[in-house]
Structure 1
Amino acid sequence: MKELRLQVNTLFYFVLATLSVVLLSLAKLFFDLQLSQIAAVQFFIAIVATLAVSVHFIFALSGQKCVTICNQGLSHFNVFGRRRFIPSEEIIRLDTKSVLGLKAIQIHTQEKRITLLAFKITKKQKKTLQQLGYLA
């Protein structure tokens, strides 16, 4: 069985970290302007987002959150941390798109479309996926 583990998309995490820093700096600006309620909410959102991104990034680097594609199907974690498996019979096609410099993988099934931002496919893996029949 040929099994491919997708790589971590570090650019995605860099963009999220940058957005968190922007939110934190705006919260400081609102504190300086005596808009404490807005600043407190924004500061809380920025801290929660930073912690969530950090935990997700650590899990992705350690291999606890991964996307695996094989000839039997696709295995991934959803937003809530539950492992999901999609059999290869349900997968119609895989697309890779670039949106504002971020590479996204779209998995089209019979019922829905799944978009993965935190992982990317290398050129070597694209060739293997073409051999498996996932990419045209």
Structure 2
Amino acid sequence: MKELKLGMNLSFFISLSIIAFTLLVLDALIVSERISMVSFVQLTLSAAIMFYIVTGLWAIFSGQSRVIICNQGVVYHSLLGQKHYIPAEEVEKISVERLLWFSYTKLYLTSGVLRIWSFKPNLAQQQSLKLLGYI
């Protein structure tokens, strides 16, 4: 069984970091005598994004979160850390899509489409996916 462990999508995490930093800068520019609701929403959203980045990167570097594609199917972890298995019979096609400046992995399933934002295959892995018949 040939396994492909998809690599970390660094541009996705950089994009999230830029969004969180932009929200913090916008909050610093909107200074008033009392805390406004817009400022509270910006700080909360920025904190949530930073928490997601830290927990996501921690899970990736500790080996707890990864996407494995093999000839028997796909194994991935959801946002909440739950492990999911999709048998190869349900996977119709795997493609690497681009949105603005970063790539993400798109799985076409019999029941719908699954987008994996934080992982992507490199060029050698894309060639292996072609050999396995996914691309």
What TM-score, normalized by structure 2, do the two folds share?
0.93
Deviations 1:65-105 (A, max 9, x none): 10000110000012222111000011000111111011011
Identity within the alignment, %? 27
Matches within 5 A, 1:16-27: 16-27=16-27
Letter in 2 for 1:74: V
1:94 aligns with 2:94: yes
C-alpha deviations, 1:39-64, integer Å up to 9, x for none? 12211221121112111112112221
- The 2-side partners of 1:96 and 1:34 are apart by 48
Say how many residue pairs are matched: 134
The separation in 2 between residues aligned to 1:59 and 1:86, in whole angstroms, is 21
**Mapped partners of 2:61, 2:28: distance in 1:** 31
Q: Does 1:132 align with 2:132?
A: yes
Q: Kindly indicate whether the alpha-carbon contact (under 8 Å) linking 2:9 and 2:104 is maintained by their aligned counterparts in 1.
A: no
Aligned residue for 2:89, secondary structure, equals coil
Name 1:28's counterpart in structure 2.
28
Aligned to 1:119: 119
Runs of 4+ in 1 over 4 A off after TM superposition: none
Q: Which has the higher contact order (CA 8 A, sep 6+)?
A: 2
